[in-house]
Structure 1
């Protein structure tokens, strides 16, 4: 089990576990149905992880569509943010914004999250500002930035509030890792699968609160959080 993981491998595994559990916790908090979480890490730090999230939701109005897009963007942002949370129990659980931005835009696996975020941002902006001419480059850029800042702030607020839960679930994920036996060559890969039912039995999952996309001081894409 984890006692067999080299220290450096365990450290890398915890980072990626925080990332996947960030997606998972924010998705559950915002009302998405969730499934299992997987993690694979090799001795040379290659990794692959995933959190199963069901995107099927009833959308009966334009406002519901906006809220769905906002929530989905927040779930995608949450992984990189959670990955930057300090692992030491005594450290303040604060998101490192520059580091999270680098993770999203870098080549550590989160670039797929970033590509999805960019597409959804434009779709959300197009719904919120349907009369904008395609040539209004500066205005579009300003609207996208304002929208991104609001979504980032709200996601960061949730991640920091739920940091202990993210850390506990990330630890449980890494604690379940075992080395994979491979025929014909030395085993170098550790992996774990926590299924949806397994996660549902965990107290940390059961106490994840149901949260609105916006608090009372934030009302969607056209108002800044105060």
Structure 2
């Protein structure tokens, strides 16, 4: 089954805007850049972590910066042991966090590819920033991961459980930042290709799985497995 990670931000009532598409200007290109980096963050980390990927889409919805996007990722994996499940959950959370973290990269051509960590955390964790669905899914997966890696913790130990959840969340977020920065050139290059393809408001632009798979930068990502660190044991 394919899962499409979507991002909707600043959507307005479409009927209040004229139906005739207009050319894109520099102001709107900035909004396109943000959603393009977000979706390519999901896409690139999914490839790095061994998931099969599909199309990537972005669309500007109106002249106030409303936008949405999606990256198709196949979730089916062969899992046979509890350790496999835990590793799958870690990788899945990193892919979910990859969108917000990549959005906090500087624009293409900047002298530094360092993630603005505070901005990334704000995008992921605060409603209205466009990544609330990613965060909600990640929180549920982290709860399941905690159940697997800390079976000794009793349900009544609520303070300890909160600490274990926070430790896992922080560790996976920090690992996401490391991976996004390591592949920043690829993410930003692919995001720029997406932005260049958007010519009008209300007209989606799609980079197909075939188009993306034919790019040398993407081909270098295929089949590469990046080890994910094990969670620290709570005292």
Shorter-chain TM range is: 0.7 to 0.9
**Contact 2:41-2:102 within 8 A present in 1 as well:** yes
**Contact 1:67-1:213 within 8 A present in 2 as well:** no
Q: Distance in 2 between matches of 1:178 and 1:200?
A: 23
- In the other structure, the counterpart of 1:189 is 202
RMSD: 1.6
- In the other structure, the counterpart of 2:7 is none
- In the other structure, the counterpart of 1:182 is none
- In the other structure, the counterpart of 1:222 is 232
Q: Paired residue for 1:176, among 180, 194, 197?
A: 197
Please show how residues 58-97 of structure 1 align to structure 2 within 5 Å: 58-97=78-117
In the comparison of the two structures, how many residue pairs are matched?
209
Q: Does 1:110 align with 2:123?
A: no
Q: Secondary structure at the match of 2:76?
A: coil
Report the CA distance between 1:46 and its aligned residue.
0.8
Q: Give a deviation string over 1:14-58, Cα, whole Å, max 9, x none.
A: 111000000000000000000000001132211110000000000
- In the other structure, the counterpart of 2:140 is 119
Runs (5+) with no aligned partner, structure 2: 1-22
**Contact 1:43-1:189 within 8 A present in 2 as well:** no
Q: Distance in 2 between matches of 1:74 and 1:144?
A: 15
Q: Give a deviation string over 1:129-177, Cα, whole Å, max 9, x none.
A: 1132222111111111211222122211110010000000001111111
**Contact 1:39-1:192 within 8 A present in 2 as well:** yes
TM-score calculated relative to the size of structure 2: 0.84
Report the CA distance between 1:69 and its aligned residue.
0.2
Q: Distance in 2 between matches of 1:45 and 1:101?
A: 21
TM-score calculated relative to the size of structure 1: 0.88
Report the CA distance between 1:103 and its aligned residue.
0.7
Runs of 4+ in 1 over 6 A off after TM superposition: none
Runs (5+) with no aligned partner, structure 1: 180-187
Q: Does 1:23 align with 2:42?
A: yes
Q: Secondary structure at the match of 1:172?
A: helix
Q: Distance in 2 between matches of 1:166 and 1:58?
A: 27
Q: Does 1:14 align with 2:27?
A: no
